[in-house]
Structure 1
Amino acid sequence: MKRLLSFLILSLMIISCGGDDDICESGEGTPRMKIMFKKADKVTKLDSIKVYVNYGVRTVDLGWSRNADSILIPLRVDDSPFTDLFVKIQRKGDSSKVRVNYTTKSIYVSPGCGAKLNYENVSGQLLKATPIVKLEPGQNFIENEEKTNLYLVF
C-alpha cells in the first residue's frame, strides 16, 4: 500500500510540472536595445566600451565590453518615456550622455511570463558629446534583439 501511495504521489508531482508556461526561457521577456558603433561612416568594433544606465532609482554599471561591435542595453520598464545612458571608451576619459526616448506597449505573453514591453518610436538624443560625435537612428521599434536600434558614431 505504501508503494502504491508513493507511486501515486510521485506520478502527480511529475504530471503537475508544467511546460513552457512556467518560466520565460525562450526569449519571451522584454527585449533589450541593440546599439552598434561607427567610425567614419563604417560599422566598426571598439576596443573597449563601458556603459552606465540610469534606471531612475539608481545608475547601474553594465561593465566593460571588449572588442565589441554591438551591445545590448536593458531599458527602463517603469512609466518613464526615456532612459539615460552614459558611455565611455577610455578608463580615464569623459563619458557621453545619450537619452533614449520611446513609448512602451505592454503585450501579454503567457501565465508564467506575464506581460512584456515592446518599445516604439525609439529615438536617441546626444545630450553630452565626447567621445560620441553623433547618433544615427536604426530601427525605431524594439520587438526583439535582432535589429540595431541606434548607432553611436565616434
Structure 2
Amino acid sequence: MKIWFSVLKRLWIQNNFKMKRLLSFLIISLVMISCGGDDDICESGEGTPRMKIMFKNADKITTLDSIKLYVNYGVRTVDLGWSRNADSILVPLRVDESPYTDLFVKTTAKGDSSLVRVNYTTKSIYVSPGCGAKLNYENVSGELLKANPVIKIEPGQNFIENEDKTNLYLVF
C-alpha cells in the first residue's frame, strides 16, 4: 500500500508541475500578444476621408428638410439613410481602382432620384502599421447625369485629404 501511495504522490507532483508550467506559458503568451503600441489603433481620423457635400438653393447655402443618398460601390449599392435638417453630408467614396463613384440623391420618399457621378484620381499614402495606407482623392469633380431634384452641381475643393472642406455643392 505504501508503494501505491508513493506512486500516486509522485504522479500528482509531476502533473502539478506540468500544470504550473502550462499556466505560466499561457499567461506569458497572453501578455506578449496584448502588448502593442498606440499606433495599432486607427481612431484619430487617419483613415480614408469621406467627401463633404453641401446644399444650395440658388446661390445660398441651405438646410434641407430631408435627403437620402444611395452610393454605388461597384458590387452593391448602399443606402446611407435619411438625413434630416442637414446642410451637409459626408459620403464615403469607393476605395477600389474605379475612377468614379455614383450617388443617387432623393429628397422625398416617393420622388425621383438624381444621379451624380463623382470623378477623381486616388493617391495611396502610408499612415502607420496599425492603420496601413489611406487614400487621398485628387482632381475631384462632379457630373450631373440625371437631374431632378438636383438642378446642378457646383465644384468645391478639388482634393480630399480630410473631411473639413466642402468638395461639391448640390443645387436644388
Q: TM-score, normalised by structure 2?
A: 0.82
RMSD across aligned positions (CA): 2.0
Q: Of 49, 55, 66, which aligns to 1:31?
A: 49
Q: Of 147, 151, 163, which aligns to 1:129?
A: 147
Which contiguous aligned blocks of 4+ residues in structure 1 show a shift greater than 3 angstroms? none
1:1-150 paired onto structure 2 within 5 Å: 9=27, 13=31, 17-150=35-168
User: For this pair of structures, how many residues does the alignment match?
Assistant: 151
Deviation at 1:23, TM superposition (A): 1.9
Distance 1:128 1:139 in 2: 23
Distance 1:20 1:114 in 2: 14
Higher relative contact order (CA 8 A, sep 6+): 1
**Bigger Rg, structure 1 or 2:** 2
AA aligned to 1:109 is V
**What secondary structure does 2:31 align onto?**
helix
Structure 1 segments unaligned to the other structure (5+ residues): none
Deviation at 1:40, TM superposition (A): 1.8
Determine which structure has the larger helix proportion and give its number. 2
Determine which structure has the larger strand proportion and give its number. 1
Deviation at 1:111, TM superposition (A): 0.4
Structure 2 segments unaligned to the other structure (5+ residues): 1-19
**What secondary structure does 1:13 align onto?**
helix
**What secondary structure does 1:121 align onto?**
strand
**What secondary structure does 1:84 align onto?**
strand
